[in-house]
Amino acid sequence: MKKVQKDIIIIGGGPIGIACALECQKRNWNYVIIEKGTLANSLFNYPKNMTFFSTSEKLEIDDIPFISNNPKPNRDEALEYYRRVTTSNKLHVNLYETVVSVNKNSETFETITDKAHYTSNQVILCTGFYDIPKLLNVPGEHLDKVSHYYKEAHNYTLQNVIIVGASNSAVDAALEIWRKGGQVTMVIRGETIGERVKYWVRPDILNRIEEGSITAYFSSEIEEIKEDSAIIKTQNGSVTIPNDFVIALTGYLPDFDLLKNSGITLSKDEKCIPEYDSNTMESNIKGLYLAGVVCGGKETHKWFIENSRIHAKLIAKHIESIK
Ligand SMILES: Cc1cc2nc3c(=O)[nH]c(=O)nc-3n(C[C@H](O)[C@H](O)[C@H](O)COP(=O)(O)OP(=O)(O)OC[C@H]3O[C@@H](n4cnc5c(N)ncnc54)[C@H](O)[C@@H]3O)c2cc1C
């Protein structure tokens, strides 16, 4: 296998990995981003018509202007922005290469990917949380008609679609599919639509539910998914409804195995928060840094681009201080 020597390995080419690369580039450090998918892979996999809740300047990295035509940018504009930042600055990125393990041997790190074997002085892990869906763990979840991601509405026209969840993603999908002629039923564990749903979207979904355009079962869960129906456990007993597709938008989890196998300690409580120093972003393993939304463990709402882009500068400052 190919052997490569670098000062710094950045794992993950999302917005925060790109921000880290900019800091390395400015300092002439020998670094590379290793990204298992395309550039900004999580954003690429977001729904096609998704609009960010942040205004564009809050998504900027290193003060490079992000101009949007709208009050809040959409997915395509964000992809354009992070792509241009990467190409204009000639950042070093290896795409379609997956990191399998990170090990520290005395003072250096060995990062093994499916293509090469890297040694480096530091590793920055910014692998996000969008790759591992939280499963419903119900019979029938394996069926082809069940998905944990939503891309666009057209293929759900004239179909009976269940959306599980009540967050931004679930509400956006429910409204879009209903507007494209799908019959939408929402199955929601809580008593209401999520409080964090974008303030300009929340009234829309509440009104569609109230007028009966979209059916919502609150305090309810899916019990079983069958080929052409689904059973919902409601407060008033089980209900069976006709069903063509289930879209379970119940959240995602970071790759805890990669973190643990790299030696990073996770909090013992249910949040599984990785250990790091918030001043430097260095984990419990010296020279191994965490950046971006991966820092929140199972608390995937704690960090986002807006408040985690600062991690790149904290890390660079710390590495500079020990060089
Ligand atoms: C629908 C939705 C809307 C959002 N809206 C906003 C918003 O308005 N404002 C905001 O600030 N935030 C928003 N967020 C959150 C924001 O998009 C994420 O916080 C952002 O993507 C985090 O950036 P990141 O670089 O930390 O992680 P990611 O963007 O997830 O990047 C991690 C990268 O690591 C790669 N990777 C993972 N494992 C490996 C591996 N083993 N080897 C190599 N590469 C790997 C992944 O492919 C991915 O490209 C939203 C999130 C979602 C899901």
The fraction of the chain above a pLDDT of 90, given in percent, is 97
- Check residue 263 and give its pLDDT: 97
| Ligand 1 lined by 127 (C-beta under 6 Å) | yes
Q: Is residue 68 lining ligand 1, measured as CB closer than 6 Å?
A: no
Distance from residue 28's CA to the centre of ligand 1 (Å): 26
CB neighbours of residue 100 within 10 Å: 11
State the Cα–Cα distance between residues 253 and 241, nearest whole angstrom.
30
Q: What is the pLDDT of residue 1?
A: 85
C-alpha 278/C-alpha 303 separation (Å) is: 13
Asked if 245 and 158 touch (Cβ cutoff 8 Å), the reply is no
Q: Distance from the CA of 189 to the center of ligand 1, in angstroms?
A: 25
CA of 90 to the centre of ligand 1 (A): 21
Q: Are 75 and 46 in contact (CB under 8 A)?
A: yes
- Percent composition of the chain: helix, strand, coil (DSSP 3-state, to 5): 25, 25, 45
Pocket test for ligand 1, best of 10, 36, 262 (most atoms within 8 A of CB): 36
Determine phi and psi for 86, rounding to 5 degrees. Answer: -70, -45
**Pair of tokens at residue 207:** 């009104």
Q: How far is the CA of 234 from the centre of ligand 1 (A)?
A: 34
- Whole-structure pTM value: 0.95
155: confidence class by pLDDT, cuts 50, 70, 90: very high
Domain annotation for the chain: domains and CATH numbers: 2-132+252-322 (3.50.50.60), 135-248 (3.50.50.60)
pLDDT above 70 coverage of the chain, percent: 100
Query: Looking at residue 137, what is its pLDDT?
Result: 97
pLDDT tens digit sequence for 18-30: 999 999 999 999 9
